[in-house]
Amino acid sequence: MIRIPYFIAPLAMAVLTQSALAEPAVDMARARQIATQHACFGCHAVDKKLVGPAYRDVAARYAGKPGAAAALVAHIQNGSSGNWGAIPMPPNAISPGDAQIVAQWILAGSKSE
């Protein structure tokens, strides 16, 4: 039987737990490409309000909330109204996978790279 020192087990569990909870890496360039392809930048900017809220404001509102990415995917695909004022966001013809990439990118701070 292999004996593991008592102080190793909690450390190993912490490392495994952190890696299991970590968000998947976001392909920033791909996310921007998808957002450009679907004309998202016609109404949204990364750091300032246009017709819709700045992506950084969206990220701040949803930070740390369970189900944030799923909620954003639903808004991206189905549209929404009343969340950021009177102007509704129309639905977008985007695949669930691409909407997920864009949502993760927004939540990660909408970085360029």
pTM: 0.76
- Chain-centre distance for alpha carbon 41: 16
Cα–Cα distance between 37 and 31 in angstroms, integer? 10
- Written as six digits, the tokens of 75 are 């808004």
Annotated binding-site residue numbers: 40, 44, 89
- Mean residue pLDDT of the chain comes to 84
pLDDT digits (tens, 9 = 90+) for 45-99: 999 999 999 999 999 999 999 999 999 999 999 999 999 999 999 999 999 999 9
Which structural domains are found in the chain, ordered by start?
Answer: 26-107 (1.10.760.10)
Annotated binding-site residue numbers for heme c: 40, 44, 89
